[in-house]
Amino acid sequence: MDRRHLTAALAALTLLPGCLAYNDSCAPLVDDPDAVVGYLGEEVQLGSAFTRHDNNALGQLAADAFLHAEDGAAKATELGIINGGSLRDEGLCVTRTSLRTGPLTDGVLHEVILFENLVVTVDLTEKQLVDLFEHSVEALALEGQAIVSPSGAFLHVSDGTTLRVDCARPAGQRVTELRVRGRAVSIPARDDASIRYRVAMSTFLLEGGDGYGGILGNAGQDPDRNPVTARKLGGTDANIAAAYMKSTYPSPVQALKEAPRIVFTNCARPARPAPR
Amino acid sequence: MLCAVVFAAAPVHAQEAALLHASPPRAEARQPLQLDATLVDGGKVLELFVRYRGPGEPYVQVPMERQYGDLYRAVIPAEHMVPPGVEYFVEAAMLDGARTPLFMSALRPARVMVGTQAPEPPPVRAPPGRKGTRDTPRSAPDIDAFAPPSGAGEDDGAAGAPPPSAGRPDGTGARAGTADARTSTRADSADSRPTASDPRASGAPSGTDPRASSRTDGTDSRTSTRTDGTDSRASSRTNSPASPSARMDGSRAPVHADASDSRAPARAADSDSRTPGRAGNGDSRASNASDDAMAALNADLPPEPRSDTRASASSHSAMDDDLALYSAEDVLAVTTLQEEAVRTVPAIGASFNRSQMIALGARTVADVLDVVPGVSVSRDVQGFHRTAIRGLRNDAEVLFLLDGHRLNNFFDGKALMNLPVENLERIEVIRGPGSAVYGAGAFQGVVNLVTHHADGVRGAITTGGVPRDDGRLALATDGHLSAAHTTGDLRLFADLDLWTQEGDSLLIAHDALDDEAVAQGLRDVDQPAGRTRDGRFLVNAGGGVSYGLDSAGRLGVTARYLSEKRDALIGLFDTVGNDSRLSWDVLLADLTWERPLSDSGQVRARLGFDQQSTDRRFQLTPLAFRTGDGVDRLFPDGLQEQTQVTVRTVTASVDADLALAKENHLTLGFVAEQQSLSRYDYTTNYTLDGRLRPSPAAPEGLVDLTKGAASRRLNLGLSAQDQWTVLSALTLTFGLRLDAIQLPDAEASGTLDASKMLVRINPRVGLVIAASDALVLKALYGRAFRAPTPQELVERIPDTDYNQGRFEGNPLLKPTTVDTFELGMDLVQAAGDTRVRVRANAFLQNFASPITPVDTSGNIVPLRNRELGVRVYGVEAEARLEASKRAVAWVNASLSRAQDLEVPEQSRLLTDVPQARFNAGVSMPLGDWVNLDVVVRSGAERRNNNRSTLELIRRYEIPAYSLITAQLRTEPIWEHFEVTLFAQNLFDHDLRDDVPRPDRVTGLLPREGVSGYLTLRAFY
């Protein structure tokens, strides 16, 4: 009797480890992870200092994709933004410090832009727009300081928008120049609610993530601001970015490169590895 | 009768000592019990001892003094003669130094019921232990002769015993009229083994054998079956003559052969054999509250003259008695409010009594819970002990009770449960919803801590500690003192636990503010972020008085105060904050009244009050931390926040146990409970934009939680549970609980001012089948629910850079429900002296709309109902092997799989709790005085859940662990002392704990270095 029980217990024990199950964290997020969505014209750094404290090619790609998410709408979108915290280096099962020059696969792109936020286009007032960028840059480190835990709130901007930032100035007054679609935005912002800019961003920001709640308020629910959630491709940021990449940077010749859209003055800059 | 045969045979084996002694079946409480015995052929006997014990207590020894001639006498002191009874055996110290049991044995002691109940007097009975030996009257068949079992083997060889009738002047006649056949077969068996008499018959002298008399209705059939049984037994024994001699107590095997032979018919005759604890208990509850061994003992009470449920219940199987007595983890009261044997209770449960807790080397409740199959205890970064049951962990979903009084805090559901075990009589654990008796909160499981109130004085002191890596010993000391006394109708008890520890100090390489601290020059890049701090000071003081009002029942008042002050293990938000201070004060008070009903039922009422105050001050950053430039951005003491919460509960409850019919038992209950949040203060020393405040204040925009509907809650609960024994082997339990609970009605008004009453009906069905005496099968279904806590509903702390990752309340939360299906089996087998019990169960739990915080943004963690629910299934098994009272081995294993059905297939598994647990322990004697206990706890690897992207990318793997404890423990010294030397985590195999943000505390969270403790216990 005892021996039988003992045998059963031992058998159960040997079986136990086999019964353990864990999620496969490497399971790809898309059906065809190896499909090439486009080409990178240069190495793209994914460390937080590069995604949250400097211009970043993938951030700019996403912002551009957002800008074009509602192409064909009655009122054209003027600006696309994405927060640096949306670009991740952790990956699903391997951490990637950078993406190499050359083809970019759909699987990797979805791992970098992996939160699957929806993209919403909405009208913002000038004050909101300027406050948005002030908040974006208020935590940037001054030149000479170490870049420590850069804030994920830092915003990348779409083509046609430039921003000048002076980190020597106090927080709240750091934006020295903002041009949207080539048009200068008054700094400080005019307190005129009728001046509107149509901006595309992720639901994460619109719902107040990364400290933007106080600035954006209920713009996402206000019919007067005409919020439109992207429909195509499921509306998610990564899908929209992938489609835009496919159409815009389809070959090594037409490859994605970083543009100097945000111009930093007196700010700390991440040390880029020497080009290989 | 058999003993008489043996007695007759005794002269033949003149060289073996034997003892003539009759054990009284019953004795008066608080009166010394005199035991007389006659020693026969005691040439090799140096001394005689009586070793006795109260229920669940270790044996105490008194010498038997020689009176004159061969008459010896011992007295069990009055203070040990407490209900429900004592057990004893007589041991001889032989000339050669050996100690040999002469009358009964440690494993099968004689049992004397103590109490006021007058048993049906036996027809005629000789005074106990009369010196008259051979001329004992025929009507006194209850004299046993025992020769040392060690001689049994030899005796087998020397089978030239006279025929039973020849040497027996009285035995045959005594029973001749009733059971001829039996007598003769007995005689046969006695032939071959004259020294090993049937201890069952002798243990409770046959004339008054409660079991025998309780079966009066069915005795006829039993007698005849026994005849058959004995035949086979006799023959089987003859076939293996060697085996009895190999056994220490050779009487074992026949007992069980016997038991299983006779049980079935006996059971058939007596209808209700499945509710031993309850039945036995009903009577005695009034006089002696909760005592598991009591239930076991009472199960043996002779039946009342009236043949009601109780009477028939007392005739449950002998093996049940054995189990209840020896494997004392067998009784719990938490399912039905009545003590019942775990194996037959309509729930999947476990119960740990004092001796088991001591054998585990457990110092706190968490130590005990961690070895329950299906349960895992871990600590979070704030130092809270968190109990996970069946793969899920949520503080508000495990109901902790202290003597039936809820310990969970109304505000956040946490319970100050990690109390020292010295004050506890037992710990009862139910996995699954358990019972209709409890309402909201009894969700994943119920843990009831039962304090020790038996008469006497007990004290214990433990000291020891953790050797720190700086070479110093971090001292930890705890002391316990308790006393209880009964005088007439008055019962008093008081107890005090004090606990103080410096705590271990282990290195934490990285924390959430690593970069900032280095950048600000607060430490070098190669310096660790800090060290854990684990200081703790705890007071647990309680007292109570109860008074028996004769026919008006018993009135009791109890009060208890718990106070804990401790460090945070690390701090809040994964940042080392060594100046964090957490305090928790709990006051519990109860006024109880209980009264037995004339029809063997019982009615109870309770008025309870409790107040819990928590004060948690966390240091969120290192000292001299800067949030920016400027004077008002320097924080000399670091950023700090403090949360002070006070909650109160007033409860009134009435419940009644009614025996509707012989086989139908109904428990009805009503409870009304008003909970309130009377204080909520959240203050910070920093503003929302990170500037220093001159004095701590509430941040802008903080909602005052003491206003609004969420701060008050009225719970009304109506429960009915019916246990219906359809057949003797089949018991059905139907339970229904109706709860009306007051919750804020945020949907209606948009604000939190309105409230609504939400009504939930929670059914429970249990089917318990005693397939045989050895095997019990259970099939259970239960539904339970829990309402969101006020914290889950409304607490919203404004988000700042330094308190990211905080849960955000959601007023739209709905209550969550769980449907649990369980199949269980309990198998008991005995072979020789060894008993093996195997328990196993499989379960499936479906949680609908579970309330789960899932980190989606990293800033605030929103709480919401997961619409598609969570499903958990698994198996749990345990086995316990008892070779003797001191030699025990046990093992348990559990495997569960939890899935969040709301996420895609490949991310469903919830793996932040060990899916598999394996625990094992061995207790073995090292000589006469010392025992060695070794316990192994192990858990499988844990990994991050994948419910959200953040969970997916915040990968961690907490490796599988096994933690080994060992202790040396003495048997009682001078009857009153016990010493243990205990080593925790002997091989320093780190048990790593929960890490909410592995990206912050990258090196995982260390805990549990080697530690050692010395405990001295005294009891009187």
> For residue A13, with 0-12 CB atoms within 10 Å meaning exposed, 13-18 middle and 19 or more buried, which class applies?
middle
- In whole angstroms, what is the distance from residue B616 CA to residue B40 CA? 71
pLDDT of residue B651: 94
Chain A: closest CA distance from residue B433 (Å): 25
Res. B227: pLDDT tops 60: no
Interface pTM, i.e. ipTM: 0.78
Helix (H) / strand (E) element for A180: namely strand A175-180
Supply the pLDDT for residue B247.
37
CA distance B570 to B1002: 13
Q: Which of B120, B86, B294, B123 is nearest to B214 (CA)?
A: B120
Contacts of B302 (CB under 8 A, 6+ apart): B25, B119, B120, B208, B210, B213, B214, B314
pLDDT given at position B276: 36
Q: Which two tokens stand for residue B228?
A: 């058959």
From the list B858, B881, B906, the residue facing A24 with the nearest CB is: B906
Mutate to test the interface with A, among B856, B953, B957, B997 (most CBs of A within 10 A): B953
pLDDT at B496 over 60: yes
Interacting residues of A6 by C-beta distance below 8 A, sequence separation 6+: none
pLDDT of residue B752: 61
Interface of A with B in 56-115 (CB under 8 A): 85, 88, 90-93, 114-115
Identify whether the C-beta of residue B21 lies closer than 8 Å to the C-beta of residue B38: yes
Residue of higher predicted confidence among B871 and B627: B871
Nearest by CB to B838, from A5, A25, A91: name it: A5
pLDDT of residue B330: 56
- Among B516, B895, B915, select the one facing A148 at the smallest CB separation: B516
Q: How far is B356 from chain A (nearest CA, A)?
A: 22
Judging contacts by C-beta atoms under 8 Å, the chain B residues touching residue A20 are 915-916, 940-941
- Residues in B closer than 8 angstroms to A115, CB to CB, are 949
- Alpha-carbon distance of B325 to B330, in angstroms, equals 8
Between B296 and B70, residue with greater pLDDT: B70
Q: Which residues in chain A are contacts of B575 at CB distance < 8 A?
A: none
Res B30: pLDDT: 80
Model confidence at B253: pLDDT above 80: no
CB contact under 8 A, B952 and A92: yes
Residue B435 confidence (pLDDT): 61
Quick one: tokens of B328? 């004392």
Nearest CA-CA distance, residue B913 and chain A, Å? 11
Q: Enumerate the β-bridge partners of residue B936.
A: B920, B964
Asked whether residue B323 carries a pLDDT value surpassing 60, the answer given is no
How far apart CA B79 and CA B32 sit, in angstroms, is 8
Q: Are B142 and B205 contacting, i.e. CB atoms less than 8 angstroms apart?
A: yes
Pick the residue with more confidence: A243 or B248?
A: A243
pLDDT in tens, B684-708: 999 888 889 999 999 887 888 888 8
Report the run of H or E that residue A166 belongs to, with start and end: strand A162-166
Residues 107-166, chain A, touching B (beta carbon < 8 A): 114-116, 145-146, 148-149, 151-152
Distances from the Cα of B704 to the Cαs of A175, B699, B810, in angstroms? 37, 11, 15
| Chain A partners within 8 Å of B943 (Cβ) | 22-23
DSSP tag of A151: -
- For B155, phi then psi, to 5°, come to -65, -35
Mean pLDDT over B422-446 rounds to 81
List the single range of B3-12, B561-570, B656-665, B900-909 with lowest mean pLDDT. B3-12
Nearest beta carbon to residue A13 from set B893, B908, B952:
B893
DSSP type of residue B121: P
Say whether residue A7 is in contact with chain B using an 8 A CB cutoff. Answer: no
**B514 burial type by CB count under 10 A (0-12 exposed, 13-18 middle, 19+ buried):** buried
Quickly state the pLDDT bin for B259 (edges 50, 70, 90). Answer: very low
* B519: closest CA of chain A, how far (Å): 7
pLDDT one-digit tens code per residue, B840-853: 999 999 999 999 88
CA B229 to chain centre: 37
Chain A nearest-CA distance from B899, in A, is: 10
Residue A110, judged by CB atoms within 10 A of its CB (0-12, 13-18, 19+), counts as: buried
Q: Place B171 in a pLDDT band, splitting at 50, 70 and 90.
A: very low
Q: Along the 276 residues of chain A, how does pLDDT read in single tens digits?
A: 456 666 666 666 655 556 788 888 788 888 888 999 999 999 999 988 999 999 999 999 999 999 998 888 888 899 999 999 999 888 877 888 899 999 999 999 998 988 888 999 999 999 999 999 999 998 898 888 888 888 889 999 999 999 999 999 988 899 999 999 888 888 888 888 888 999 999 998 988 888 888 888 888 888 888 888 888 888 889 999 999 999 999 999 999 999 999 999 999 988 887 655
pLDDT score of B1005: 75
**Nearest by CB: A2 against B834, B897, B918:** B834
Backbone φ and ψ of A224, nearest 5°: -60, -25
User: In chain A, pLDDT over 70 holds for what percent of residues?
Assistant: 92
More confident residue, B974 or B823: B823
Order of all β-strands in the sheet with A155-157: A155-157, A79-83, A196-202, A119-125, A228-229
Enumerate the residues of chain B whose CB falls inside 8 A of the CB of residue A27: 906-907
More confident residue, B717 or B318: B717
- Rounded to 10 deg, the angle between the B180-192 and B2-9 helix axes is 40
Which of B949, B950, B957, B1000 best tests the A interface by mutation, with the highest count of A CBs <10 A?
B949
Region B752-772 average pLDDT: 85
Query: Is B946–A23 a contact, with Cβ atoms under 8 angstroms apart?
Result: yes
Which residues of B fall within a CB distance of 8 Å from A1?
Answer: 829, 831, 836
Taking an 8 Å cut-off on Cβ atoms, the answer to whether B909 and A22 are in contact is: yes
Helix (H) or strand (E) holding B387: strand B385-389
Selection from B27, B82, B72 nearest residue B50 by Cα: B72
C-alpha B421 chain-centroid distance: 11
Mean pLDDT of B553-564: 94
- Where do the structural domains in chain B lie, given as residue ranges? 2-269, 360-1019
Contact B953, B970 (CB under 8 A): no
Which chain A residue shows the shortest CA-CA distance from B918? A13
Please state which of the ranges B314-323, B528-537, B707-716, B936-945 shows the lowest mean pLDDT: B314-323
**Who among B895, B946, B954 is closest to A16 (CB)?**
B895
Instruction: Show the domains of chain A with their CATH numbers.
Output: 36-265 (3.90.780.10)
- Dist. CA B563–CA B113, nearest whole Å: 40
Mutate to test the interface with B, among A10, A23, A96 (most CBs of B within 10 A): A23
- What confidence score (pLDDT) does residue B290 get? 35
| Residue bearing tokens 């609908």 | B848
Among A19, A88, A210, beta carbon nearest to B895: A19
Confidence at residue B195, expressed as pLDDT on a 0 to 100 scale: 37
- Quote the pLDDT of residue B120: 41
- If 0-12 CB within 10 Å is exposed, 13-18 middle and 19+ buried, where does residue B636 land? exposed
Assess whether pLDDT exceeds 60 at residue B155.
Answer: no
A22 neighbourhood in chain B, CB within 8 Å: 909, 911, 941, 943
Task: Identify the three-state secondary structure at position B605.
Answer: strand
Write the Ramachandran bin of A181: left for phi over 0, alpha for psi from -120 to 50, otherwise beta: left
| Domain B2-269 coded CATH 3.90.1150.10 | no
* Residue for token pair 């009797």: A1
pLDDT tens, B172-195? Answer: 333 333 333 333 333 343 333 333
The pLDDT assigned to B116 comes to 56
Contact flag B916-A211 (C-beta cutoff 8 Å): no
What is the rounded average pLDDT for all residues in chain B?
75
Pairing of strands B60-68, B26-27: unpaired
pLDDT above 60 for B223: no
Confidence bin at B609 (pLDDT 50/70/90): very high
Contact B230, B262 (CB under 8 A): no
Share of chain B above pLDDT 70, in %: 74
- Write out residues 8-47 of A within 8 Å (CB-CB) of B: 9, 12-13, 16-17, 19-25, 27
Rounded Cα distance between B213 and B230, Å, is: 20
Q: How far is A10 from chain B, CA to nearest CA, in Å? A: 10
Rounded Cα distance, B799 and B807, in Å: 10
User: B829: which chain A residues are within 8 Å (Cβ-Cβ)?
Assistant: 1-2, 5
Q: What is the pLDDT of residue B472?
A: 86
Q: Which two tokens stand for residue B259?
A: 């038991």
Nearest to A116 among B906, B941, B949 (CB): B949
CA distance A105 to A97: 16
Crossing angle of helices A237-248/A57-67, nearest 10°? 100
Q: Which of A16, A17, A21 sits opposite B909 (nearest CB)?
A: A21
Residue B996 banded pLDDT, cuts 50, 70, 90:
low
Measure in Å the smallest separation between the Cα of A99 and chain B Cα atoms: 18
Q: For B879, which of A5, A19, A209 is closest by C-beta distance?
A: A5
Instruction: Report which DSSP code applies to B570.
Output: S
Peptide bond into B420 cis (omega under 30): no
- Give Rg (Cα) of chain A: 22
State the Cα–Cα distance between residues A115 and A201, nearest whole angstrom. Answer: 13
Judge residue B873's burial from the number of C-beta atoms within 10 Å of its C-beta, 0-12 exposed, 13-18 middle, 19 or more buried: middle
Which residue of chain B has the CA closest to A114? B949
Give me B493's structure tokens. Answer: 């008890």
For chain B, the residues whose C-beta falls within 8 A of a C-beta of chain A are 515-516, 518-519, 628, 799, 801, 829, 831, 834, 836, 838, 857-859, 877, 879, 881, 891, 893, 895, 897, 906-909, 911, 915-916, 918, 940-941, 943-946, 949, 952-955
Q: Which of B519, B908, B946 sits opposite A146 (nearest CB)?
A: B519
Q: Which residues of B touch A93 (CB under 8 A)?
A: 955
* pLDDT reading at B270 higher than 70: no
- Closest B-chain CA to A89: B953
A212 touches chain B (CB under 8 A): no
Indicate yes or no: CB of B836 within 8 angstroms of CB of A2.
yes
Asked if residue B806 lies in contact with residue B799, where contact means CB atoms within 8 angstroms, the answer is yes
User: CA triplet B651, B655, B660: central angle to 5 degrees?
Assistant: 170
CB burial readout A120-141, b (16+ within 10 A) else e = bbbbbbbbbbbbbbbbbbbbbb
Phi and psi angles of residue B883, each rounded to the nearest 5 degrees, phi first: -85, -30
Rounded to whole angstroms, how far apart are CA atoms B957 and A25?
Answer: 12
CATH superfamily of B360-1019: TonB-dependent receptor, beta-barrel domain (2.40.170.20)
Residue B565 predicted with pLDDT over 90: yes
Pairing of strands B424-431, B445-451: antiparallel
Give, as one character, the DSSP assignment of residue A236.
B
SS (H, E, C) B138-162: CCCCCCEEECCHHHHHHHHHCCCCC
Residues B31-62 have pLDDT tens digits of 888 888 888 877 788 888 898 887 666 778 88
pLDDT of B923: 93
User: Is the Cβ–Cβ distance between A138 and A120 less than 8 Å?
Assistant: no
Q: Which of B859, B879, B954 sits opposite A209 (nearest CB)?
A: B859
Residue of A nearest to B862 (CA): A209
Q: What is the pLDDT of residue A36?
A: 92
Rounded to the nearest 10 degrees, the angle between the axes of helix B219-239 and helix B252-269 is 150
